[in-house]
Every structure is written in structure tokens, then in C-alpha cells.
């Protein structure tokens, strides 16, 4: 059985259809890149794939979902709130436990972000904030990743580092991306979205460049 599947999925906004109807299956171990122009429906498709009752899905939304008034540590730790009791989480909020600080620090090291551990997230640059959201997704350590443009604010070397970390952590992933060469390198399947429908679906190493260009 596919870990993620949609059947006749659709989404409407203001009475108008913005996505679907469409069918999509994501097999275990697949890394899928959603490609297509802005507004094509990639973010909406990720939202449909996200089941809030499944604790094994790590979601990184395009708006990042960070709490600006909290430290980087606390924003990353939020990835595992569901792993602990309310009492434990409240205690950790007031006076972080050493083991949690060590665990979060280890994740930040992978992204060259350790100096920001206790910085207020709202005071960071756009690229740093994006890496905080990536760190939270890594810290959650679920079995499936859904990420919406996780490297859009990063430069070349940091882009590669983040994509390596995400794909090493998650064998099954669906990632919305604009960078087509990057999508080919880190995904094994490309799903192209155009006007709310699946216009292309195939192996990343065999999809023709002309077919991809037609999406834009």
C-alpha cells in the first residue's frame, strides 16, 4: 500500500476549482519533486497530502510556520512536541533540558546554524529562518517529508547542504521546487502541475527538458 495516496482529490477556493480532480500515489522510498509555475497548485497538493492525524509526516510549509518571539532552540524543539507530555514540554520551555539542547544542537550543526541556538527567530535573516524550519523538520524525524520550497532563500552551497540533509533523513519525500536541475539531482520522480492538474509524471532522469519547459 502507498504511504500517501489521493483519489479524485480536488480543492476549491471561492467557488472555483484550484486543484484537481486528480489521483496520486507516493510509494515508500520515493522522493518526488513537485514542479510547475507559481500558483499552479503545488502548495495545495501538499496540503491535501498532509494528514494531520498522522504523526509520521513532517511538514515544512512555505510560510515556515515559525514563532518569531521564541528562540531557534524552541522552534526546532517544536518538531517533537507530540513525542512528550504537556508537562514535559512546558518544563522544557521554561528551562530546556540538557539532552534536548544537545539533540537540537546536533541538528543545527548539520545546517551550520549552531551559533543561532538561543537567538530569537524573528531577528534572523530569511535564509537563516528557512534553515530553522528545515532543522525542525529534521528534528521531527518522521517517516515522510512534505516540504514546500525548502531552499528558495538559500545560496548554492547551503542549498546543497540542506537538500542533502533532507534526503538523507527522509527516504520518502514530496518536495515542491522551482529549481529544475536541483529537482533532478535530489528526486527520483518528477510530478508536474499545471492549472491544478497533473500534466507530467515520470522518472527524474528520463523526463524530457521540453516537457518540463512546457509547464512554465
Alpha-carbon distance of 106 to 155, in angstroms, equals: 22
Residue 1, pLDDT > 60, answer: no
Query: 1-56+144-216 has which fold?
Result: Rossmann fold (3.40.50)
pLDDT digits (tens, 9 = 90+) for 28-50: 999 999 999 998 999 999 999 99
Indicate the domain borders of the chain: 1-56+144-216, 66-141
Give the largest CA-CA distance in the chain.
55
Decide if 213 contacts 35 (C-beta within 8 A).
no
For residue 8, how many other CB atoms are within 10 A of its CB? Answer: 8
Q: Which has more pLDDT, 55 or 76?
A: 76
Sole residue written with cell 484550484: 18
Query: Rounded distance, CA 190 to CA 174, Å?
Result: 10
Helix, strand, coil percent content, the chain, rounded in steps of 5: 40, 25, 35
Among 193, 191, 183, 189, which residue's Cα sits nearest to residue 159?
183
| Span 87-110, pLDDT tens digits | 999 999 999 999 999 999 999 999
The pTM (predicted TM-score) of the whole model is 0.92
The answer on pLDDT for 134 being more than 90 is yes
Amino acid at each position: 500500500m502507498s504511504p500517501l495516496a489521493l483519489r479524485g482529490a480536488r480543492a476549491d477556493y471561492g467557488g472555483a476549482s484550484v486543484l484537481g480532480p486528480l489521483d496520486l500515489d507516493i510509494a515508500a522510498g520515493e522522493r518526488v519533486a513537485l514542479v510547475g509555475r507559481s500558483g499552479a497548485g503545488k502548495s495545495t497538493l501538499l496540503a491535501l497530502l498532509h494528514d494531520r492525524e498522522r504523526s509520521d509526516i513532517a511538514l515544512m510549509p512555505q510560510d515556515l510556520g515559525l514563532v518569531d518571539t521564541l528562540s531557534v532552540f524552541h522552534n526546532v524543539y517544536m518538531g517533537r512536541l507530540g513525542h512528550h507530555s504537556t508537562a514535559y514540554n512546558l518544563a522544557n520551555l521554561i528551562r530546556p533540558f540538557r539532552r534536548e539542547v544537545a539533540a537540537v544542537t546536533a541538528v543545527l550543526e548539520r545546517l551550520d546554524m549552531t551559533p543561532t541556538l538561543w537567538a530569537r527567530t524573528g531577528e534572523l535573516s530569511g535564509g537563516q529562518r528557512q534553515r530553522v524550519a528545515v532543522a525542525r523538520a529534521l528534528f521531527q524525524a518522521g517517516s515522510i517529508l512534505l516540504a514546500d520550497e525548502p531552499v528558495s532563500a538559500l545560496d548554492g552551497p547551503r542549498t546543497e547542504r540542506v537538500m542533502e540533509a533532507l534526503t538523507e533523513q527522509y527516504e520518502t519525500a514530496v518536495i515542491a521546487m522551482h529549481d529544475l536541475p536541483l529537482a533532478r539531482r535530489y528526486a527520483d520522480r518528477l510530478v508536474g502541475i499545471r492549472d491544478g492538474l497533473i500534466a507530467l509524471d515520470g522518472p527524474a532522469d528520463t523526463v524530457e527538458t521540453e516537457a518540463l519547459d512546457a509547464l512554465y
